Each structure stands twice: as structure tokens, then as C-alpha cells.
Amino acid sequence: MDGRQAQVLKGLAELALLSLLEEGPQYGLEILDRLREDAGLGLAEGTIYPLLHRLEGAKLVQSKWRLDAEASRPRKYYELTSSGRKELAVQLTEWFELSNALGKFLDRRRLK
């Protein structure tokens, strides 16, 4: 992945992660797998935890240790806070506005 693509992914990863956590609490590797497979983001394993810690520091997510029946050891689950839900709503609005405007702008090339 080149530097340009990495910068774009970095910005999109936060929005995708907040959106994913809106579905409910999830643990780190589960989040990474879903962002890779479902969202198509080619994130490296080393990128997810710094992002989660930054969002936790900003009080957009919170974490809790849980022991699942199928797990041999506790996992740290992350979930949205009320501030995280508000931030997600703001970022979604901004994303759809930007995406719509940029899509129209780029489509002008096809109309020529």
C-alpha cells in the first residue's frame, strides 16, 4: 500500500470503526477482521489498537474485559459511549455530504 492510500484509509478507519461498534460491543481482532472483510479496509494488525486507544482517550469508546464461554482467556471488548454515538452521527453526515458532492464533481468527466 502506498502512502496516499494509507492516509485515506487512516481517515476512513475511524468512521468505519465507530459505525461497526454501533452494532454492539466487539473485541479487537473481531473489529479488525470485520473492517478488513466487510468494509474492505486493508488495515494492518498494528493499526487497530492505537486507533481504539485514541478513541477511548477521547471518550468515544469504552472498554471492558469479558470472559466468553468459547474463549480460553478474557478479551477486551470495546463499545460506543454516548459521545461516540454523537460523533458517529456527525461523521456520517459529513461523509455523506462530502461523498455526494465529490461524486457529482467526478461525474462531470463522464458527462463530457
Residue 38 C-alpha cell reads as 466487510
Query: pLDDT, tens digit, for every residue of 31-77?
Result: 999 999 999 998 988 999 999 999 999 999 999 999 988 878 999 99
For residue 93, give the C-alpha cell.
453526515
Does residue 73 lie in a domain region?
yes
* pLDDT confidence of residue 68: 86
Report pTM.
0.88
Domain holding 41, by residue range, is 3-107
* Residue 61 main-chain phi, psi, to 5 deg: -135, 160
In a domain, 112, yes or no: no
Q: How far apart are CA 65 and CA 112, in angstroms?
A: 56
Work out the burial of residue 13: count CB atoms within 10 Å of its CB; fewer than 13 is exposed, 13-18 middle, 19 or more buried: middle
Q: Examine residue 21 and state whether it is found in any structural domain, yes or no.
A: yes
The CATH number given to whatever domain includes residue 9 is: 1.10.10.10
Q: What is the pLDDT of residue 2?
A: 67
The CA-CA-CA angle for residues 104, 107, 110, to 5°, reads: 160
- How many structural domains comprise the chain? 1
Contact 17, 51 (CB under 8 A): yes
